[in-house]
Structure 1
Amino acid sequence: MKRILSIVLCMLMILSVAACTKETQAPAGQAETLTGVGKGFAGEVKVTVTKEGDKITNVVVDSHTETNGIGTKAVDEIPAKIVDANSTDVEAVAGATVTSEAIVYAVNNALDPAKYPAPTAAVKEDKKPEAVVAAEVYQGFGFASEGRLGPGKDDTDTPVFSFNDVFAHTLFDQEGRILAMTVDVLEVATPNYDGEGMPHFSGFPGQGGYNNDSNHDEKVDGKTEDTEENFIAEINSWVSKRDRGASYVMGAGSWSEQMDKFEETFVGMTVEEVEEWFEKYCSDLNGRPLKDGSDKPEDKAKYDALTAEEKAMLADVTSGATMSLKDPHGDIVTAIKRSFENRVPLEEVREVASMGTAVLPLHRLGPGKDDTGVSVYSINKVFANALFDGQGKIAALYVDQLEVATPNYDGASMPHFTGFPGQSYNNDENHDEKVDGTITVTDDSFLDEIKGWVTKRDRGEGYVMGTGTWEAQMDKFEELFIGKTADEVEEWFEKYCSDLNGRPLKDGSDKPEDKEKYDALSDDEKAMLADVTSAATMSLNDGHGDLVGAIKKAFENRVEIDLTVK
């Protein structure tokens, strides 16, 4: 009897489940809308799928954080492929494999969530920042650039190259001890590098492009287009290592997590102590923190000479950070040191709730051409370092910029980038607006050129433009923006700067659009602009760099701190 009852109950359960399943399906001929999620290169990819019976009629990517110009190719193409095939068994978009697979998984999750469950994100403990009190605070920004030969060569025996810009935003107390720090790196490689997510640069237009591994399978698929359009697209897609996010995993964790661990270790130290820590506790071979069990005799001897307490400290550090602090991937130690050397006192700051750091790269076509008709090009990277109060208003701001131009640019103090080894470009060696010959890049000249890059602030008094040096003009804008939110800075720019060139409006413009915009202002607004333009007339957003966008991005990148100055 019990056996019969059990069979009956099982049958009833099966019928019940079948009935429930049938109730969730749309009637034949009616559209059914489903949502799904997949894990992309830079975060979640969410989709909406529409189907009628067994036919997929529409796929829409609702939200994503994939890299513009790379992952977005898959966002543009994969949904249509799925609809056309009426299947998720479609070929990935070359160069955007991870994003392609994320969209496919999201659609599968929508269609069959039992078989394709939504990916779960790791839960990270939300730690509140430790309260810090200081009598005096100094803000510093440091920059250090390195070229890298490699890693290796592609399958056609063409070398891979990259350049790495490290930038450090640091707060110091009156004794030079680090109160808070954010370090980031922009790494850009030739497009034959096979790692997905790496920003690429092929060289300047006219240099012939570069070998391209578009689908990251360690096989060259051809060359990148030798066009201004590709030059623009590549630079516009550059993102820093922090902006590459949790997907950029290496060794003990993501790059950001490892850098966070080092920053945590260095808080409370002076720059000299950071250098001493590096010299004592990192490998002389590769700049990585020492670990027990190394198979390198030099590292083993250095580690074995440490005390038990020092070994325990290193075990804690290397549980979260094993990457190098100084190698061709970037000289982090030097960037921190330079941030101390460049520090400025913050005399009016009393409370800081967050700090933000950002880099915003931008291309420039020009200015003009040399005397042989070859175009001049440049790359501009704006670095914005901001402190914000609890209301998101700017408490302190330090903006700098790196501009590098082709060597046919005639400015005497302009940093140059000729290209990668094997490429060549016209050279105006004595800056007389006449080409003296052509430079062909070697491994040594590539490394030396990048090592010599200096920012506009570091170019100092020699870099004069309009009403003063670049540095003095930027100081005036920074002073103006204190007390404003990032949105208010953007609003100020929209209202008080030229729509033609991004410069602050002035009385007497010969441009009708600027004159009309200026004349519509009140007397008080005109007086304010007269004060601004007495010291700062350069553009806040043009081909030289998007300063406003960088400030806004610094706000978006902000991290909590709890700093009180007494």
Structure 2
Amino acid sequence: MKKILALLLAATMSLGLFACKGNEAETPEETPGGETKTLTGTGEGYGGEVKVTVTMEGDTIKEVVAEGPNETEGIGTPALEQLPAKFVEANSWEVDVIAGATWTSNGLIYAMKNALDPTANPWPMAEEEEEEGNVEASDVFFGFGVANMPRKGPGADDKEVQVWSINQVLAGALFDGDGKILHLLVDQVEIASPNYDGAGMPHISGWPGQTGYNIDENHDENVDGVTENTEDLFLKEVSEWMTKRQRGSDYKMGMSTWEEQMDSYQKLFTGKTVEEIEEWFTKYTSDLNGRPLKDGSDKPEDKAKYDALTADEKAMLADVTSGATMSLNDGHGNIVEAIKLAYENREGLEITEAESRGFGVSFMPRVGPGKDDQDVQVYSFNQVFASTLFDKDGKIVSLHVDQMEVATPNYDGDGMPHFSGWPGQGGYNYDENHDEKVDGKTEDTEENFFSEIQGWKTKRERGSDYKMGMSTWEQQMDAYEELFIGKTVDEIEDWFEKYTSDLNGRPLKDGSDKPEDKAKYDALSAEDKAMLADVTSGATMSLNDGHGDLIAAIRASYENRITINLSVK
């Protein structure tokens, strides 16, 4: 397509049509070589808009001046310096990108296209419409998996204080009866110590009361101070967490965004089994960093592995790396493992069709529950994950909700995932045998940090061990999922507003000793009360309290939905 556009552009220039199609800035007097015009164009660089000013003499590009005041020095600026001469030499926008400055290069190439043919290449750029999927199968299974990975790094700050991070890869997949992926959605949560210098990175500074942590507030690789570990800061940090998809175009990495690269991998893996994905990963990615192999590597191991491939395999890899070069398994997270877990957790779906599917996450910090026997506060954070299939009217045809609750280690519940803070913060009170009495403090070591994160489990993974009142969390969540099938998200929100307590988000029940709940329940019809009795026979836990906002996650899954046109025959 790129070559065809170039030929069409050359043809229009030779026919004398180019000047009327460009963004004209001025029209000086004619010269012997033909009419001289100055055209301007705009594209999207890494730091913002980049612009070109193009001087044309007839159909010849005589001069190009590039501007990008917000491009990163030494990374984006080489493209600003080198591409103008290449445009002049090629007499076209069709040039190779500058190595290491892919994003800025692509922005300048688009700016040239905008200058030369703004009709076909408008600015602002026209948003690409999502291509509608078309998925058919005789049997459909859904699985969801979370792969948790602790990381030491990247590096240390300018004060030689270590940077730490936690990576959680979230994978939801539809499989056919043969285990082949029909549709795949992957997202990721990356949380770092606040001395990580990347803009937009979700932070946690440790638990309130712990030693504060170095913070690089303006992301200039220089520490600005130490966080004041208060409850207000803790609540603010967790409330502002976002997944990598939620970070969207702000999360740029090399050639594109994390989201765009992940979309490329999802497309690549569709139609494969998990075993085939693992085989692909073993054969076609670096054993050093988990990235797809590329020609010209300066690492002997990667070069030898790449050179052993066939010409067809190298061509396939070139196609892959045109859309994605990020690692599938490194310190940033194990994407392959999350997909494998999704397969292992799969369950059959009794549906006939679905127009769209969505995935949503909600984050909630919590002060509590309560304190330990030494009067030290318990804290926790909750992540709710909702994977949903919708029909053409926006009604839910399938719903899968899971949750990760992580607490300070003085929480006395058996099986609760723990986080003691970052290494170097002194550890936290620990109730090791869950008898409501503190046994000491956790070891303030790298080993303990790694052990804790690697042991995290979702509430579904905790299964029958996670009992709450009448049944398990999993059983109660299953009851809610069944209740919400056939409803739109608006109807679920209306149901929640009408039939749950304004105090704790639990379904109303007869006989409450809370006046507000009693009044709300008594105002219901006999039919409403009968429905609620049926609901509370299977689920009484809250749909929105300090343990997490299930409704918000379902709403987010609807707002993030994409068309798949699933048909089960």
Instruction: Give 1:362's aligned residue.
Output: 364
Q: What residue identity is the alignment partner of 1:396? A: S
2:348 paired residue among 345, 348, 367: 345
Partner SS for 2:244: coil
2:353 equivalent to 1:383: no
Q: Distance in 1 between matches of 2:450 and 2:271?
A: 34
Q: Distance in 2 between matches of 1:383 and 1:121?
A: 34
Q: How far apart are residue 513 of structure 1 and its match?
A: 0.5
Q: Residues 510, 39 of structure 1: CA spacing in aligned structure 2 closer, same or farther, 3 A cutoff? A: farther
Instruction: Give 1:196's aligned residue.
Output: 199
- Aligned-pair identity (%): 65
Instruction: Give 2:411's aligned residue.
Output: 409
Q: How far apart are residue 214 of structure 1 and its match?
A: 0.8
Conserved? CA contact 2:164–2:422, under 8 Å = yes
**1:74-111 CA distance string (max 9 Å, x none):** xxxxxxxxxxxxxxxxxxxxxxxxxxxxxxxxxxxxxx
Q: Residues 41, 488 of structure 1: CA spacing in aligned structure 2 closer, same or farther, 3 A cutoff? A: farther
2:257 equivalent to 1:254: yes
Partner SS for 1:140: strand
2:286 paired residue among 278, 283, 302: 283
**1:293-342 CA distance string (max 9 Å, x none):** 11111111111111111111111110010000111101110100011111
Conserved? CA contact 2:380–2:405, under 8 Å = yes
Partner SS for 1:445: helix
Q: Distance in 2 between matches of 1:42 and 1:558?
A: 29
Q: Distance in 1 between matches of 2:542 and 2:404?
A: 15
Q: Distance in 2 between matches of 1:393 and 1:547?
A: 17
Q: What residue identity is the alignment partner of 1:358? A: G
Instruction: Give 2:156's aligned residue.
Output: 153
Q: How far apart are residue 252 of structure 1 and its match?
A: 2.4
Runs of 4+ in 1 over 4 A off after TM superposition: 38-44
Conserved? CA contact 1:387–1:397, under 8 Å = yes
Q: How far apart are residue 487 of structure 1 and its match?
A: 1.2
Q: Distance in 1 between matches of 2:258 and 2:144?
A: 20
Instruction: Give 1:264's aligned residue.
Output: 267
Partner SS for 2:246: coil
2:317 equivalent to 1:314: yes
Partner SS for 1:181: strand
Conserved? CA contact 1:191–1:211, under 8 Å = yes
Q: What residue identity is the alignment partner of 1:372? A: Q
Conserved? CA contact 1:144–1:167, under 8 Å = yes
Conserved? CA contact 2:46–2:252, under 8 Å = no
Instruction: Give 2:526's aligned residue.
Output: 523
Q: How far apart are residue 461 of structure 1 and its match?
A: 0.5
Partner SS for 2:552: helix
**1:439-471 CA distance string (max 9 Å, x none):** 132122211211110000000101110221000
Q: Residues 466, 127 of structure 1: CA spacing in aligned structure 2 closer, same or farther, 3 A cutoff? A: same
Q: How far apart are residue 124 of structure 1 and its match?
A: 4.6
Partner SS for 1:356: strand
2:479 equivalent to 1:473: no
Conserved? CA contact 1:386–1:555, under 8 Å = yes
Q: Residues 260, 202 of structure 1: CA spacing in aligned structure 2 closer, same or farther, 3 A cutoff? A: same
**1:503-561 CA distance string (max 9 Å, x none):** 00011111110011011111111111111100100000000000000000011111111
Q: How far apart are residue 478 of structure 1 and its match?
A: 0.3
Q: How does 1:90-169 map to 2 (within 5 A)?
A: 120-169=123-172
Q: Distance in 1 between matches of 2:440 and 2:494?
A: 47
**1:374-417 CA distance string (max 9 Å, x none):** 00111110001001111111110000000011111111111111
Instruction: Give 2:504's aligned residue.
Output: 501
Q: How far apart are residue 129 of structure 1 and its match?
A: 2.5
Q: Distance in 2 between matches of 1:231 and 1:131?
A: 44
Alignment TM-score, normalising by the size of structure 2: 0.78
Q: Distance in 1 between matches of 2:526 and 2:540?
A: 19
Conserved? CA contact 1:42–1:247, under 8 Å = no
Conserved? CA contact 1:422–1:440, under 8 Å = no
Conserved? CA contact 1:41–1:247, under 8 Å = no
Q: Distance in 2 between matches of 1:322 and 1:346?
A: 34
Q: Distance in 2 between matches of 1:40 and 1:419?
A: 37
Instruction: Give 2:547's aligned residue.
Output: 544
Q: What residue identity is the alignment partner of 2:408? A: T
Q: Distance in 2 between matches of 1:306 and 1:248?
A: 33
Partner SS for 1:243: helix
Q: Residues 169, 466 of structure 1: CA spacing in aligned structure 2 closer, same or farther, 3 A cutoff? A: same
Q: Distance in 2 between matches of 1:499 and 1:452?
A: 35
2:189 equivalent to 1:186: yes
Q: Distance in 1 between matches of 2:226 and 2:443?
A: 20
Unaligned runs of 5+ in 1: 1-37, 45-118
Partner SS for 1:381: strand
Q: Residues 497, 40 of structure 1: CA spacing in aligned structure 2 closer, same or farther, 3 A cutoff? A: farther
Q: Distance in 1 between matches of 2:130 and 2:441?
A: 55
2:514 equivalent to 1:511: yes
Q: Distance in 2 between matches of 1:346 and 1:521?
A: 34
Q: What residue identity is the alignment partner of 2:521? A: Y
Unaligned runs of 5+ in 2: 1-42, 50-121
Q: Residues 239, 350 of structure 1: CA spacing in aligned structure 2 closer, same or farther, 3 A cutoff? A: same
Q: Distance in 1 between matches of 2:142 and 2:124?
A: 35
Q: Residues 221, 284 of structure 1: CA spacing in aligned structure 2 closer, same or farther, 3 A cutoff? A: same
How many pairs does the alignment contain?
454
Q: Residues 41, 412 of structure 1: CA spacing in aligned structure 2 closer, same or farther, 3 A cutoff? A: farther
1:229 paired residue among 225, 228, 232: 232
**1:482-517 CA distance string (max 9 Å, x none):** 111111111111110000000000111111100110
